Structure 1
């Protein structure tokens, strides 16, 4: 699993100050971390793999900072007592071309350059290339973004636009507030020649799409479906959990869409494809806002809860809107499940290299499908609504889900779900005695 994340303190807020200059050009950056010590600290770590480090201060005093791989080890001038609030300021040069590669669905992550700017793909642990951070999926904090751009360029980030201030030299500073605490992997900031397309979702929800100016017309048909998608998901999962939503169109060959909080990013190709494929991606990222974003995972081995739910609702929606029948999709997944277990681990037992393999997507959606077959559709729907309601804005893991499912169903589902989530072999599918698993190819 990714080893990022540090103890000894909790972050109360990140403030990012970026002085953007031009595509692919390094720029001056400063991150302020407002934190509280949970133990006495003579030193502490931040996750940081960015470009040139300049200065680090703690409480306004110069601190000693040493880079150790992807860790920034900070020794303040004076120890920090337990319970004390403190402020860290890190000045550095950011490199908007910095990326790393994975051998699974994520492929490239970090900064993702576009023709006139950037988007970011921080999942799973790429935020450290963008700013110094305490990066773990269970750790969330509010973020203030202050991004200065040249004339003609816009900036966007998670949350609400607080201020757009033009400076005497014509440059513009864009200030955004995330409104809700956000995990580092779900952070988004983008710069480019954007059009902002506003519409209203269910119950007056503000929906704002951020689109490269040359792609507004060509992507409108699929983007305009967001209100329908919100209504469909709210019928199944309850009220949308954030104050606003939108789609950021990435003018990039980014290989995957990403559920960045309240502002999902989709590469242009996803929105220029046919309606069935486009809607699958749009619904998948929107479903994540409930499962994975509002209900955050406790540890990386709980990723099946995030990706499995998003894929399940994507498949369910597509079934009802001209796509592949969900039973056919799940039967295909069932046939391959032993092979996926062999290649990528059981749904709740990934390894770091296999974290975003197909087992965490269709393989984990199959677990939810099996649960629905076991308890019936009505009980399953109550489990799902209870899950996102009870843990809204909180962190939860596999044990929490198993316990809640058992409570709602009125029976102990631990043996059933553990066999699906951890077993070496795929269990029988309830109600489908004719379904068979293909032999493993070694």
Structure 2
């Protein structure tokens, strides 16, 4: 070997010179690529102004599998969440949103991983770094606590696990999924779900999507398997357990309908639940085809008086279905409208919530006027009078202030923006905008800027100058076609 190097010293020097020249020409790019490929931690959150640590950076979840061994109401039980994801950067570690619950084990691609808890963040360091573009599987074993709820004054009264007399329902909105399973918990992040839920005999487990299998184990317990069929945002996941009857029927075009009703509430709620086919027909006339493969109403046997647009299975409290027809229909149509706006067309950030709640309130009131309810225009005039006050108290429709996300501005105040747009462009053009929005972004997330751009395209003129003051301005603009409408002075203090 020594002889070889001696005899070929000149050739070796020539090769070295060639390598040096090549490095001079390509070195910076090579170093840059090497630096880009060096594993680094994924971001602990997406930086959403409302909830900066919600969601996580460095990967995209493709699929969740939830395995729950349910035992009894308000009783902890064994749970496993398996997450299939793709790294969007070379990862030295990554975060999952995961609050409470007793952690038992975490593996990445079958190998034990190091973990630490940091508030609502579970920080996971795999045995080996994950390459950019590579797929990986995380398996988290834990003891789930179905008594775990949280409270936000700007959201629903409580969220997370909500107990019922014989089981539970979920209220994951706005960011309560992390109380139930480890997740990439932000509305812009969506993935397919598989649910495996084992219950005692006599109880039924339901989830959004399609029932794939029901099997009885040797010990008499029952295992239920559901497939979400389409990607779901974590805030829209529904899983309920209880003594339910599953009431099947058909909607327009043979759409499968499945209501999930506590035994004692089947007959008392039937009158209003049976209106769903009419609601679907009316909304399809406004918005185009229903965007999912099935739909149903889950009747919540709780005292929590808030409905929720969980995907393909809207949660409607029993009180909403035991009152007047007008009130029941408003709530039913509101949650059904969300299947187009908020569920199929998801929101890109929490500041885009006006697109979801504003549309649901708009069509809820429009339907109600046509079916015995109050005047839509009168409701909008009342909202107009209060709009400056709401801007002051809660932020403009597309610019909410903390902690005022789920307040009147995102509902009646945002419906008023849509009403103003309809008055500006005319009913026919407005309906074309709405149908185009539902079709263009079906199955995707979209932002306020996307809506303004699409509305301008459909209308054939730039609407940004009209819509921006409505969406972001400190003062309510004049209402087109209604010069007599007046905004009340703001009351401070």
TM class, shorter-chain normalised?
A: over 0.9
- Post-superposition Cα deviations, 1:23-69, rounded to whole Å, max 9, x if no partner, equal 00011000000011111011000000031111100010000010100
Which residue of 2 is the match for residue 134 of structure 1? Answer: 184
> 1: CA distance between counterparts of 2:205 and 2:316?
17
Which of 147, 164, 173 matches 2:223? 173
Choose which of 273, 277, 283 in structure 2 pairs with 1:223.
273
How far residue 274 of structure 1 moved from its aligned partner, in angstroms, is 0.5
- Alignment map for 1:38-437 (pairs within 5 Å): 38-437=88-487
| 2:457 counterpart SS class | helix
Q: Is the 8 A contact 1:276 1:323 kept in 2?
A: yes
Note the residue ranges of structure 2 that are not aligned, 5 or more in a row: 1-49
TM-superposed CA distance for 1:253, in Å, is 1.1
TM-score (norm 1): 0.99
Write out per-residue CA displacement over residues 365-417 of structure 1, whole angstroms, 9 at most, x where no aligned residue.
Answer: 00000000000001000000000000001111000000010111111110110
Structure 1 residue 93: Cα displacement: 0.5
Which residue number corresponds to residue 51 of structure 2? 2
Task: Choose 351-360 or 244-253, whichever is displaced more.
Answer: 351-360
C-alpha distance in structure 2 between counterparts of 1:105 and 1:53, whole Å: 28
SS in structure 2 of the partner of residue 353 of structure 1: coil
Contact 1:50 1:131 in 2 (8 A): no
Once the 2 structures are TM-superposed, how far is the Cα of residue 352 of structure 1 from its aligned partner? 3.3
SS in 2 for 1:11: strand
Residue 83 of structure 1, CA deviation: 1.1
Paired with 1:112 and 1:125, the residues of 2 have a C-alpha distance of: 14
SS at match of 2:400: coil
Shift of 1:105: 4.5
Larger Rg belongs to: 2
Separation of aligned partners in 1, 2:305 and 2:329: 16
C-alpha distance in structure 2 between counterparts of 1:352 and 1:311, whole Å: 22
Query: 1:19: Cα distance to partner?
Result: 0.3
SS at match of 2:92: coil
| Separation in structure 2 between the aligned mates of residue 427 and residue 351 of structure 1, nearest angstrom | 20
Runs of at least 5 residues in structure 1 that lack an aligned partner in the other structure = none
Q: Distance in 2 between matches of 1:86 and 1:179?
A: 22
Structure 2 SS opposite 1:433: coil
1:200/1:207 contact within 8 Å kept = yes
- TM-score normalised per structure 2: 0.89
Task: Out of 333-342 and 349-358, give the one that drifted further.
Answer: 349-358
In 1, the alpha carbon distance for the partners of 2:334 and 2:140 equals 36
- Over aligned residue pairs, what C-alpha RMSD do you find? 0.6
1:130-169 deviations in Å (ceiling 9; x for gaps): 0000011111000000000001000000100000010000
Aligned residue number for residue 16 of structure 1 = 66
Structure 2 CA distance, aligned partners of 1:21 and 1:291?
36
State the match for 2:45 in structure 1: none
Q: Residues of 2 paired with 1:345 and 1:107: CA distance?
A: 21
Per-residue CA deviations over 1:165-187 (Å, capped at 9, x if unaligned) read 10000000000000000000000
**Relative contact order: is structure 1 or structure 2 higher (C-alpha 8 Å, sep ≥ 6)?**
1
- Contact residue 2 and residue 352 of structure 1 kept, 8 A: no
The alignment partner of 1:439 has SS state of: coil
Whether the aligned pair in 1 keeps the contact of 2:305 and 2:319 (CA below 8 Å) is no
The ranges of structure 1 where at least 4 consecutive aligned residues each deviate by more than 2 angstroms after the TM superposition are: none
